[in-house]
Amino acid sequence: MTEPCIVPGVYQHYKGKKYFVLGLSKNTETGEVCVVYRPLYETDWAQLVHRNAAMFAEQVDVGGVQTPRFKLIAS
């Protein structure tokens, strides 16, 4: 299976909030690839979160229109 092309930078979630993607990580037990990122809104600045890379890169339906869940806005 081909991994999605996700580069470090600022991404905007389809609901509007922005996040800084640091890069990808791989679970050594399962091989699952995840995106590691930090929220850029009112939260603990030290907080790092991750999401499955396939889900991060997928298209979602917003009012009948397919749009990226996260869109790169600055690299």
Domain range annotation of the chain: 9-74
What is the band of 24 on the pLDDT scale with cuts at 50, 70, 90? very high
Residues 64, 14: Cα–Cα separation, whole Å: 14
**Does the predicted TM-score (pTM) go above 0.85?**
yes
CATH topology of domain 9-74: SH3 type barrels. (2.30.30)
- Position 19 pLDDT exceeds 90: yes
pLDDT in tens, 50-64: 999 999 999 999 999
Dihedral angle sign, alpha carbons of residues 8, 20, 73, 75: negative
